[in-house]
Structure 1
């Protein structure tokens, strides 16, 4: 452990610090999944910073206490919003009260350019924000699409050990944890370019460490047929990171999940397809619109007016 990590987190040993699987019961566990085919390095510790023991234990207890939400049909209101706004219906939001809110900063939805701008404060701790609608919806038909994809443009990248993490996750998810550290979540972290899937340790080296700078664009994609997760950098695919995740697809609603941690301010823009043309050109055929809200073989009508995760969360009791 470096002197910097020891000074910042004297009681921690690894980046996310804790057991990789924290399901409520064995039936919740994922089927087997595989890392990328690259001869990548598995990192037992974070390169620049670690989570605390307390945060790790709190996340473990959270996942044991709160089962995953089942996949749901969207409300008719959400479907109408998708019809009217297309990809612009996807926004970013804070975690629910139950999930826990540690994010310090502002989220600017509804920007004229079609992107969502996020600015975090210098002292923002490990935190995660989510899309208001799933980007991968288990009860909806892929409609012939190969996958789903979104991009994040860096405006200000916090200096190491600060980081921005681009990922996806099932909910509820502990809002004080970066994506990729806990159950059914994946993330690419800009501080050391490691990738994580349910990995509370140091992550995987993926394609090696390189500098993420202002103006760079990181994208994340999911391929339906194989359960493959991959990332892109300035439009260049970096290769498969994991396969067989979020499978079977019909059993999961998966949300965009973006993590931020200081020290140092961070600023970025998220684009679900309503903003700039994706840097990864093939991704323009992978937009979230056209999958979520589309019933099998239908015109997009929901068979039942069941609430979305966002709509139903107010019905959940707040547990102390």
Structure 2
């Protein structure tokens, strides 16, 4: 306590002094008062304000990004007429199919081990034979029936009731990739043949009969109907559906083919109408435009574009049919069928334009 008292006694102005008597402000305004008054009471310069003049030269160009986005009326329904048609929906099975799963598995494995044959330069005699319709039909070992030649390019055949699937193939390709491609000739190429169904026969109760006409690259498993395996397409008479490398149930296309009718199937190869899109890959841009058409009793009934939009999940592609491989006529049969096949254009009901 004595120390503390001594300390206070030595510094009475800070420790023990009377603060109220030692902190009175000096008289008069603070030093900055006069300067602040001068700043807040500024007198404008004499005369009118200077006239505003725009900068010399034209105004800068406005960019599209400077414009506000156009108003979109969501109540207006867009016009879809110019959009491509949606992909056709395929079926899981055909109501008239009679093939079993083991045949399909065997065919898939066979195709895997037998790749498509690369085209080669045809001989002149072969080109002449095709131009004249002088094409024969090759009987596979699965064929059960008879086949005879009626004339140049005209064949008549029949199969036994209850017969299993068999595919007759032309002896020569109707389309030679080396000499018929529009990329080589700069011209359109059309291939076509006709089939007349004379009668359908039934064997045991429940056994059906039908015919299919199509096109195929080789080799092809001849115990399978055309259109079921790679490199082939066909229209089947029992369900009227079209098949393109489709081992399932095909796609709706036309009505069934009846006895007494003459039907034909053609393919047209041409240069695309529009140039390719250079932003797309070569795999997305077909080099040849391919259209398939179907006739009934001499009248072109319907068709489709080979490069139509496809279902990415179920469609297996059109490899082998795009004009890079030779293509052969294919006639599929099962059950009892009596028929005629005609490659001779002078006997066709359909007359090319």
- Kindly indicate whether residue 351 of structure 2 is the aligned counterpart of residue 281 of structure 1: yes
Alignment partner of 1:118 out of 157, 176, 186: 157
Alignment partner of 2:267 out of 204, 222, 231: 222
Q: Quote the Cα distance in structure 2 between the aligned partners of 1:48 and 1:267.
A: 18
Q: Where does residue 136 of structure 2 map in the other structure?
A: 91
Q: Where does residue 197 of structure 2 map in the other structure?
A: 154
TM-score (norm 2): 0.60
Q: Is the 8 A contact 2:134 2:344 kept in 1?
A: no
Q: Is the 8 A contact 1:113 1:275 kept in 2?
A: no
Q: Quote the Cα distance in structure 1 between the aligned partners of 2:180 and 2:87.
A: 35
1:67-106: CA deviation from partner (whole Å, max 9, x where unpaired): 1111122345535655xxx5242111124xxxxx311112
Q: Which runs of no fewer than 5 residues in structure 2 stay unpaired?
A: 1-83, 271-288, 308-317
TM-score (norm 1): 0.66
Q: Where does residue 272 of structure 1 map in the other structure?
A: 343
Q: Where does residue 35 of structure 2 map in the other structure?
A: none
SS of the aligned residue for 2:117 comes to: coil
Q: Quote the Cα distance in structure 1 between the aligned partners of 2:262 and 2:251.
A: 20
Q: Is the 8 A contact 1:104 1:123 kept in 2?
A: no
Q: Which runs of no fewer than 5 residues in structure 1 stay unpaired?
A: 1-35, 96-100, 286-320
Q: CA RMSD in A?
A: 2.4
Q: Is the 8 A contact 1:37 1:240 kept in 2?
A: no
Q: Where does residue 191 of structure 1 map in the other structure?
A: 238
1:176-223: CA deviation from partner (whole Å, max 9, x where unpaired): 00000000101111111111000001101113x34x333211100101
Q: Where does residue 236 of structure 1 map in the other structure?
A: 299
Instruction: Say if 1:133 and 1:174 are closer, same or farther in 2 by CA, change over 3 A.
Output: same
1:34-85: CA deviation from partner (whole Å, max 9, x where unpaired): xx95885521111123311110111011001111111122345535655xxx
Query: How big is the shift at 1:136?
Result: 1.2
Q: Which has the larger radius of gyration?
A: 2
SS of the aligned residue for 1:201 comes to: coil
- Kindly indicate whether residue 148 of structure 2 is the aligned counterpart of residue 108 of structure 1: yes
1:96-153: CA deviation from partner (whole Å, max 9, x where unpaired): xxxxx311112213x2375111211113201101000001110113663441111111
Q: Quote the Cα distance in structure 2 between the aligned partners of 1:112 and 1:93.
A: 16
User: Which portions of structure 1, spanning 4 or more consecutive aligned residues, are displaced by more than 6 angstroms?
Assistant: none
Q: Where does residue 102 of structure 2 map in the other structure?
A: 54
